[in-house]
A and B are shown apart, each in its own frame.
Chain A
Amino acid sequence: MLKYFFQRMLLLIPMVIVISLLAFIGLELTPGDPLTAMLSPDQMSSMTTEELDAMRESLGLNDPMLIRYGRWVINLLKGDLGISVMSGSPIKDIIKNLLPATIILTMVALVVSTLIGLILGIFAAIKQNSIVDYLSSVLGVLGISIPQFFIGILAILFFAVRLQWFPAQGRTDIGLNFWQSLKYLVLPSFSLGITLTAALMRHTRNSMLDVLNKDYVKTARAKGLPEWKVYTFHVFRNAMMPISVMILLRLPMLIGGAVVIEQVFGYAGIGNRLLTAINASDYQLVLIIILLLSIVALFASVLIDLFTAVLDPRVRLGSSKNQGGA
Chain B
Amino acid sequence: MSEQLNENILTLKGLKVQFRVGRRLVKAVNGVDLNVRRGKTLGLVGESGCGKSVTAHAIMRLLPKAGFIPEGEVTYYSNEGTVDILKHNPKGKTLRDLRGRQISMIFQDPLASLNPVYRIGDQIVENIRQHNRVPKEAAMKRTVEMLKQLSIPQAEKRVLDYPHQFSGGMKQRVMIAMGLINDPELLIADEPTTALDVTIQAQILELMQDLQKKLGFTIIIITHNMGIVADMADDIAVMYMGKIVEFGSKREIFLNPAHPYTKALLKSVPVLGSGSNSRLEPIRGNTPDPSEMPEGCTFAPRCDFAMDICKTDPPNFDVGGGHMSRCWLCKGGNGQ
By a beta-carbon cutoff of 8 Å, the part of chain A in contact with chain B is 128, 214-216, 218-227, 233-234, 237-238, 311-314, 317, 319-323, 325
* Contact indicator B164/A313 (Cβ below 8 Å): yes
Chain A residues contacting B154 (CB-CB under 8 Å) are 323
Q: Is the CB of A224 within 8 A of B101?
A: yes
- A215 lies within 8 A of B162 (CB): no
Neighbouring B residues of A314 by C-beta, 8 Å: 116, 162, 164
Which residue from chain A places its CB closest to the CB of B98 in the assembled complex?
A: A224
Would you call B318 an interface residue if the criterion is a C-beta within 8 Å of the partner chain's C-beta atoms? Answer: no
Contact A323 B115, CB 8 Å, known A222-B105, A225-B130 = no
**Number of residues of chain B lying within 8 A (CB) of chain A:** 38
Contact in complex: B130, A222 (CB < 8 Å): no
A313 with B131: CB separation less than 8 A: no
- Give A319's nearest chain B residue, CB to CB: B164
Is B96 a contact partner of A224 (Cβ separation < 8 A)? Answer: yes
Please give, as numbers and ranges, the residues of chain A lying within 8 Å of B158 by CB-CB distance.
323
> Does B127 have its Cβ within 8 Å of any Cβ on chain A?
yes
Is B113 in contact with chain A by the CB < 8 A criterion? Answer: yes
23 residue pairs from A and B, CB less than 8 Å apart: A215-B112, A216-B112, A216-B115, A219-B114, A219-B115, A222-B60, A223-B126, A224-B95, A224-B98, A225-B96, A225-B126, A225-B130, A226-B91, A227-B91, A233-B118, A238-B117, A311-B117, A312-B116, A314-B164, A319-B164, A321-B165, A321-B167, A323-B154
Beta-carbon nearest neighbor of B57 in chain A: A218
Q: How far is the CB of B303 from chain A (nearest CB, A)?
A: 36
CA A312 to CA B115, docked complex, whole Å: 11
User: Which residues of B have CB within 8 Å of A227?
Assistant: 91
Q: What 1/0 mask marks residues of chain B from 119 to 134 whose CB sits below 8 Å from any chain A CB?
A: 0000000110011000
Q: Do A325 and B160 have beta carbons less than 8 Å apart?
A: yes
The CA of A219 and the CA of B164, in the complex, are separated in Å by 16
Other-chain contact of A221, B62, B157, B160 (Cβ < 8 Å): B62
Q: List the 6 shortest-distance A-B pairs measured between CB atoms, nearest first.
A: A224-B100, A215-B112, A223-B100, A224-B99, A224-B96, A216-B115
Contact of B107 among A128, A215, A234, A323 (CB under 8 A): A215
**When A222-B105, A224-B99 are in contact, do A216 and B165 touch as well, CB less than 8 Å?**
no
With a cutoff of 8 Å between Cβ atoms, the chain A residues found around residue B114 in the complex are 216, 219
Given the interface pairs A224-B131, A225-B130, the reply to whether A215 lies near B96 with Cβ below 8 Å is: no
Q: Tell yes or no: B109 within 8 A of A by CB.
A: yes
Contacting pair B167 A222 (CB below 8 A): no
Q: How far is the CA of A137 from the CA of B154 in the complex (A)?
A: 50
B231 in the interface (beta carbon within 8 A) = no
Q: A244 to chain B: closest CB distance in Å? A: 13
Q: Say whether B145 faces chain A, with CB atoms less than 8 Å apart.
A: no
Please report the C-alpha to C-alpha distance between residue A127 and residue B117 in the assembled complex, in whole angstroms: 25
Cα A227 to Cα B101 in complex, Å, equals 17
- Is B234 interfacial (CB 8 A cutoff)? no
CB closest residue in chain A, given B164:
A314
In whole angstroms, how far apart are the Cα atoms of A313 and B122 in the complex? 14
